[in-house]
């Protein structure tokens, strides 16, 4: 959603950071462009004015103008002010109350209240292990209560039984009573919406609030709404009193103005953001990470957290054990592709990497398609288990069958097999310790390749996962290679060698050249031996005198 704003700001800061020094005029020109970019992104005018004034006051300080990298300092100031505008810290849903904790969902019709209610219920159930009850108070929209019941079955969360003819206030009271009697930790109240704000809607919300006394009142806002979302939040806060905001469709092509304006205008925190249509596409709102995404700095932390949530630790450990043995079959490749798909596909992963915004044109020309992962998995799933474990069995006739079963061509099957072969060879090289000089060095030091550490030197480096060598390892090294000399001391003989040459060896003469005789003379007066090598009396080399001067 912030793609357009991110591109504009990146272009402004690129021009700014290329300057060796900055003056007030340079900063004013850059901030004028920042102001224009924020207004085009539908950010509220009051928020834009406050934002630009804060950045200007900090950027024109002597510490910035005289800095070694003033352009980078201005970028940091913009980042800091943006984090303050979005909210300094993350504020998740507050569950610190006596159960059942009531959470009331409010908003306009079509903002995504019912789906968001199910998303929050699944999140509280899976992550926080809370027993959740959902209740639909929407008696106006056709099949609204049935929709929530269907979503509840999909995510295995209880929903309040539907009784026709009850008012929203009666349903809210019944939900509170059922949650208390049946031992639920959280009760979610999905209220009705309107296409626009009217008095009847506000009066109904106030009655439900008075009857159920919810601990949290979350306003669900469509992030594509634009500046009107700020007025919406103001009206709901004045009449009902919201405690937080949930932004939906954050993955859309909106300009992001609502997200930047909400906190600054209402003073209420953005608690959650909907990042997709799937029931688990809901994330906490981290102001610093969103600011980093807007400024093109990526969001590595969210990517790592997402990977940690989706990766099965036990499965990953088994995979690591196989890789240490140098084994990597097509089933392993399929698991890796499925993992990448869970992380949002290629585009989702690359969107969280720093600097990818500047490579937008190159990525577009590369025709990166997330469906490639699905196609490759379909090819692998069209194979028999035996073929996946032993790809060498796949010959021409089997390739035709696999291509037909997956709806692909034989050429696509060949590409996948070649890709797997290259990866398998790489894994075998790592797992078997066949890494050239590095592998030899590891074996010399008593190790067993990458999987077994580096012997005494490794000291906890098994699999490259440990720390520094321990005191016992250092002592063993000293015992093996001898005591190291102190700085400035005579190093003495190397360990394993005699302290002095053995007696009885002849001494070298004072003039080493006397060891080498004159070269024998050949007929015609030419010296013997190889031409240009002098007269060294060594068999097969003629006469070579290393101490003779060049002629």
Backbone φ and ψ of 504, nearest 5°? 100, -10
Residues forming the annotated binding site?
107-114, 190-194, 248-251
d(CA 124, CA 105): 15
| Cα–Cα distances in angstroms (integers) from residue 286 to residues 69, 299, 497, in the given order | 28, 10, 64
Residues forming the annotated binding site for GTP?
107-114, 190-194, 248-251
| Cα–Cα distances in angstroms (integers) from residue 55 to residues 27, 38, 84, 488, in the given order | 10, 13, 11, 57
d(CA 306, CA 92): 17
- 483-489 long-range Cβ contacts below 8 angstroms, 24+ apart: none
Backbone φ and ψ of 163, nearest 5°? -120, 115
SS (H, E, C) 61-118: CHHHHCCCCHHHHHHHHHHHHHHHHHCCCCCCCCCCCCCCEEEEEECCCCCCHHHHHH
Report angle CA 381, 387, 388 to the nearest 5 degrees: 55
Tokens of 443: 């074996």
d(CA 363, CA 196): 41
- Angle at which helix 257-266 crosses helix 45-59, to 10 degrees, equals 90
d(CA 551, CA 548): 9
3-state secondary structure of 187: strand
Helix (H) or strand (E) holding 450: none
Q: How many residues does the chain have?
A: 551
Question: Do 168 and 192 meet the contact criterion of CB atoms below 8 Å apart?
Answer: yes
Question: DSSP string spanning 479-527?
Answer: HHH-PPPPTTS---SPTTS-SSPPTTPPPPPS-GGGGS-PPPBPTTS-B
């Amino acid at each position: 959603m912030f793609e357009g704003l991110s591109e504009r700001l990146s272009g402004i800061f690129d021009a700014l950071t290329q300057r060796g020094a900055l003056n007030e005029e340079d900063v004013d020109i850059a901030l004028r462009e920042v102001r224009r970019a924020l207004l085009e992104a539908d950010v509220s005018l009051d928020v834009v004015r406050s934002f630009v004034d804060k950045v200007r006051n900090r950027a024109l300080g002597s510490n910035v103008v005289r800095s070694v990298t003033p352009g980078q300092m201005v970028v940091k100031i913009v980042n800091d002010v943006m984090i303050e505008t979005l909210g300094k810290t993350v504020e998740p849903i507050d569950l610190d109350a006596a159960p059942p904790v009531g959470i009331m969902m409010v908003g306009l019709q079509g903002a995504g209240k019912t789906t968001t209610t199910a998303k929050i219920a699944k999140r509280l159930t899976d992550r926080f292990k809370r027993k959740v009850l959902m209740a639909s108070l929407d008696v106006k929209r056709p099949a609204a209560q049935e929709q929530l019941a269907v979503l509840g079955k999909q995510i295995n969360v209880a929903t309040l039984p539907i009784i026709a003819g009850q008012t929203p206030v009666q349903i809210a009271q019944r939900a509170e009573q059922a949650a208390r009697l049946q031992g639920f930790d959280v009760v979610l109240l999905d209220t009705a919406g309107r296409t626009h704000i009217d008095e009847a809607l506000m009066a109904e919300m106030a009655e439900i609030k008075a009857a159920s006394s919810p601990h949290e009142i979350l306003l669900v806002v469509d992030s594509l709404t634009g500046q009107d979302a700020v007025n919406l939040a103001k009206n709901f806060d004045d009449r009902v009193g919201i405690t937080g905001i949930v932004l939906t469709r954050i993955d859309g092509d909106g300009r992001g103005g609502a997200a930047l304006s909400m906190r600054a205008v209402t003073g209420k925190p953005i608690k959650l953001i909907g990042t997709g249509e799937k029931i688990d596409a809901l994330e906490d709102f981290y102001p610093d990470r969103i600011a980093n995404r807007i400024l093109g700095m990526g969001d590595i932390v969210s990517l790592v957290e997402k990977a940690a949530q989706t990766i099965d630790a036990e499965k990953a450990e088994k995979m690591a054990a196989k890789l240490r043995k140098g084994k990597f079959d097509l089933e392993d490749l399929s698991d890796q592709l499925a993992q990448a798909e869970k992380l949002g596909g290629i585009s989702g992963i690359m969107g969280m990497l720093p600097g990818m915004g500047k490579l937008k044109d190159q990525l577009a020309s590369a025709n990166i398609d997330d469906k490639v992962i699905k196609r490759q998995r379909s090819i692998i799933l069209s194979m028999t288990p035996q073929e996946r474990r032993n790809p060498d069995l796949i010959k021409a006739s089997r390739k035709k069958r696999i291509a037909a079963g997956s709806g692909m061509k034989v050429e696509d099957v060949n590409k996948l097999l070649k890709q797997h072969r290259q990866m398998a060879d790489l894994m075998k090289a790592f797992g078997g310790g066949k890494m050239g000089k590095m592998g030899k060095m590891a074996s010399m030091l008593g190790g067993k390749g990458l999987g077994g550490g580096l012997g005494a030197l490794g000291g906890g480096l098994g699999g490259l996962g440990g720390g520094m060598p321990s005191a016992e390892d250092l002592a063993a090294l000293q015992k093996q290679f001898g005591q190291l000399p102190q700085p400035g001391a005579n190093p003495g003989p190397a360990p394993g060698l005699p302290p002095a040459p053995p007696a009885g060896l002849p001494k070298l003469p004072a003039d080493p050249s006397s060891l080498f005789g004159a070269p024998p003379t050949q007929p015609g007066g030419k010296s013997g031996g190889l031409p240009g090598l002098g007269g060294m009396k060594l068999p097969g080399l003629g006469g070579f005198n290393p101490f003779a001067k060049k002629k």
